């Protein structure tokens, strides 16, 4: 297959996505169904925890993840086991419920049969996503006044553009068989596609900016907003769990982390929060 043919296919895919996301009625992929159900329910001002629990209980994977998150070391310092869904929702809070709905949606997509051609890439992407989400929550909670669950949510959706592009690219055999062209498409467009998708979903402006700019360098110093937290969490995750092909990996600047952390504070943070990060990843993951 020629390089020109692959590039033409990428262009066609991007045109299709642009048309879908710019119309008055946006056609969202089915893997986001559970996310929309939760999003719609959370818009009701009089929604009770029991009502939300009834909705979530219809999705066993989501129920399991919420209970696991409520019992994680990061969210349950008491050590008392939480076994019912309503108590778990009360413990983790609404923002975390929203996060779990996205986690379930993306995991269901990656485990679907149609994504089999991208199995290895999908697994790297999911591991990276969980690492960023957990790291973002820990940084926000320990070093800033930013809502930790908002930071975790940003981590979970920061690469939603990659998930979405993969869900569309699988329908184009040319891209399935041209690994380098696919990687280039994902690297160059995932932040813009993610921004457009989340905009269509009506998510807050601060989150939209954070997602679109999560790989754009910034000066460092104090963590001023969720974008700063997401940027650093993503860079830290890339050291161990990046999703890109080796040909597209950009190593972090050696001076990046000293700009954000005082001498020794990063290693201390990682050591002290290792259990929290592991428990969050376990709750979010399979």
The DSSP symbol for 30 reads G
Backbone angles phi, psi at 264, to 5 degrees: 85, -15
Q: pLDDT digits over 121-172, tens only?
A: 999 999 999 999 999 999 999 999 999 999 999 999 999 999 999 999 999 9
Q: pLDDT digits over 58-81, tens only?
A: 888 888 999 999 999 888 887 789
Q: Please report the pLDDT score of residue 27 as a whole number.
A: 63
Cβ 125 vs Cβ 110: under 8 Å:
yes
Cα separation, 36 vs 23, whole angstroms: 18
Helix axis angle, 274-284 relative to 265-272, nearest 10°? 50
Tokens of 45: 């001002």
Give yes or no for residue 213 having a pLDDT over 70: yes
Q: pLDDT digits over 12-41, tens only?
A: 999 988 888 876 656 666 677 778 788 788
The rounded percent of the chain whose pLDDT value lies above 70 is 96
Domains, the chain, ranges and CATH? 3-284 (1.10.3210.10)
Place of tokens 């997509």: 109
Q: Please report the pLDDT score of residue 28 as a whole number.
A: 64
What's the rounded mean pLDDT across residues 180-193?
94
pTM score of the predicted model = 0.89
Place of tokens 């601060």: 206
The DSSP string of 69-86 is HHTSTTT-TT-----SHH
Q: Please report the pLDDT score of residue 29 as a whole number.
A: 65
Tokens of 164: 């979405």
The DSSP symbol for 45 reads T
């Amino acid at each position: 297959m020629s390089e020109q043919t692959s590039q033409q296919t990428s262009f066609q895919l991007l045109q299709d996505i642009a048309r879908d996301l710019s119309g008055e009625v946006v056609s969202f992929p089915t893997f986001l169904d559970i996310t929309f159900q939760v999003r719609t329910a959370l818009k009701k001002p009089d929604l009770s925890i029991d009502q939300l629990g009834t909705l979530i209980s219809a999705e066993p994977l989501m129920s399991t993840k919420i209970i696991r998150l409520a019992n994680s070391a990061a969210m349950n310092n008491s050590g008392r086991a939480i076994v019912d869904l309503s108590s778990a929702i009360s413990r983790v809070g609404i923002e975390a419920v929203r996060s779990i709905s996205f986690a379930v949606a993306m995991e269901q997509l990656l485990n679907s049969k149609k994504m089999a051609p991208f199995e290895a890439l999908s697994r790297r992407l999911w591991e990276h996503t969980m690492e960023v989400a957990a790291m973002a929550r820990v940084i926000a909670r320990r070093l800033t006044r930013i809502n930790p669950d908002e930071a975790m949510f940003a981590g979970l959706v920061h690469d939603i553009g990659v998930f979405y592009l993969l869900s569309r690219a699988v329908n184009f055999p040319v891209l399935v068989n041209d690994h380098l062209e696919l990687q280039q498409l994902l690297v160059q467009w995932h932040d813009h596609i993610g921004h457009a998708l989340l905009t269509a979903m009506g998510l807050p402006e601060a989150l939209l900016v954070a997602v679109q700019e999560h790989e754009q360098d910034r000066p460092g110093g104090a963590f001023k907003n969720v974008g700063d937290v997401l940027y650093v969490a993503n860079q830290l995750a890339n050291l161990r769990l990046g999703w890109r092909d080796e040909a597209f990996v950009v190593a972090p600047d050696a001076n990046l982390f000293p700009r954000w952390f005082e001498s020794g504070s990063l290693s201390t943070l990682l050591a002290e929060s290792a259990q929290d990060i592991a428990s969050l990843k376990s709750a979010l993951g399979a």
